[in-house]
Amino acid sequence: MNACSGSRHCLTCTTGSVSTSGAGRDRKIVSKKTTYLRCILDNAYQQANNRPETTKQLPDTQPKHLAQITMDNKRGKGLSFAKRIYAPRIIGSGFGGIGLMAALYPLDRSAWVWVLLLINAFAWPHLAYQLSSRATYPYRAERRNILIDSLCGGFWAASIQFNPLPTVIIVSMMMMHNVAAGGPKLLLRGALAQLAGALIASLLFGIAFTPHTTSLQVYACVPVLILYPFAVGMVSYGLAITLAEHKRTLSTLSRTDSLTGLLNHGYWKDLLQLSFLKCQENHSTATLVLIDIDHFKNINDTYGHIVGDSVLRQLSKELKNNLRAEDLAGRYGGDEFCVILPNRSLAQTTEIMERLRHVFANFQYCDEPDLNVSLSIGLATCRPEFLHANMWLNEADKALYIAKNTGRNKISVGAADTLPESVLSGSSG
């Protein structure tokens, strides 16, 4: 092993240190990975069949076993859910409690009823959040808390003798809360909980109805009518923003090759079709590039797949450094890369690719000084006689085939294109 000289052309310095091991060590690593994957499959099978959590312990190379990771994911999801409910519950219980006090005052209830109302209005939101955040499964705990909210709502509606305005506010708040949190299923369960709460209050205080709402009770209910829908709306808006961000992230991941960070095969092919149509409609110029790493299979066989992956990542890095934002670079498959350069002539594209070929051929691999990597490149411009995008792609593929079969480490073009003499002389070296 040679010591790294710190050169900017060193693959290890730019993409991370790469080292190879003996065959025995490689077999040991593969064995550990195989054991780990087997454990994952066994755990997944147990969960699918609702078996008790008797998960196998994964190898020591992994910090957590699968069951623990699953629990952590559920816990994180439940905590975020509890946090979203926290603020609306504080506003709804607090200001809703003020309206209940105004409706309860004329009825001359016992002192314990007032104490219970104060606890429900001002202490319960904080207690509910603590119960959810400290639970093993916060999501389940929070759904239970929501049903308790509904139970209390039905209890207080019956306690104030179904005074019209406060009762309507309680019922509408509970419906809004339950639908936002769990949809129709939770709405139905919440309605049953409200009915149970009303039944409990009726058994304690009797069944009665107060048809009139005083001015004081109306004014006491105004804050909750304004603030609670606002709180629910803000939570819904925040959730919509989060979902939109997640959607964008997933969309990006679905279009990206995981190893190189470039466009994946499927998405790049879609962009190829769009670029072709744009060129044909606008009569604009674009050049298609296919890049192949010479003897890449030998690199994997001789130096290992870790080194091979580093070579792929390094090529993707150099592509990003040498291309514009509007250029479309992707991984076509295996060791082949593809680039669409809109509004680039053949000469301009050739100059860029020649620079890339030269830089990549002169990389120094610190841990593998004997490793040399070269590129074969095929170019093709979008021409009016092409009937579809595949003809354009096929022309670039033919150019790549010529480059690979006439010595490799060079740039070639399709039969309908011509390279400048200066480039031809430079590529032959």
CATH number, domain containing residue 404: 3.30.70.270
User: Is the domain of 226 the same as that of 273?
Assistant: no
User: Is the domain of 413 the same as that of 323?
Assistant: yes
Q: Which of 248, 283, 309 is the last residue of a domain?
A: 248
Q: Is residue 35 part of a domain?
A: no
Cα dihedral 197/198/202/205 (nearest 10): 70
Q: Is residue 45 part of a domain?
A: no
User: Is the domain of 243 the same as that of 111?
Assistant: yes
State whether residue 51 is helix, strand or coil.
coil
User: Is the domain of 353 the same as that of 406?
Assistant: yes
Residues in Cβ contact with 285 at an 8 Å cutoff, skipping those fewer than 6 apart: 279, 342, 343, 344, 345, 381, 382
**pLDDT (tens digit, 9 = 90+) per residue, 205-250?**
999 998 888 999 999 999 998 998 888 888 888 888 888 888 888 8
Q: Is the pTM of this model over 0.75?
A: no
Q: Is residue 151 part of a domain?
A: yes
Give 336's strand partners.
Answer: 292, 333
Question: Which segments of the chain have a pLDDT < 50?
Answer: 1-9, 11-34, 36-37, 40-41, 44-64, 66, 69, 71, 421-429
Cα dihedral 217/105/98/232 (nearest 10): -70
Q: Is residue 121 part of a domain?
A: yes
Separation of alpha carbons 115 and 159, rounded Å:
14
Q: Is residue 242 part of a domain?
A: yes
User: Is the domain of 194 the same as that of 275?
Assistant: no
Domain range spanning residue 377? 265-427
User: Is the domain of 217 the same as that of 351?
Assistant: no
Q: Is residue 123 part of a domain?
A: yes
User: Is the domain of 153 the same as that of 179?
Assistant: yes
User: Is the domain of 221 the same as that of 293?
Assistant: no
Phi, psi of 331 (to 5 degrees): -100, 115
The pLDDT of residue 416: 67
User: Is the domain of 97 the same as that of 191?
Assistant: yes
Q: Is residue 24 part of a domain?
A: no
Closest CA to 360 of 407, 307, 409, 288: 409
* Number of structural domains found in the chain: 2
User: Is the domain of 337 the same as that of 380?
Assistant: yes
User: Is the domain of 238 the same as that of 385?
Assistant: no
Full strand arrangement of the beta sheet holding 336-342: 328-333, 336-342, 286-293, 375-381, 411-413
Residue 400 near residue 351, CB atoms below 8 Å: no
Q: Is residue 342 part of a domain?
A: yes
The pLDDT of residue 19: 41
User: Is the domain of 189 the same as that of 298?
Assistant: no
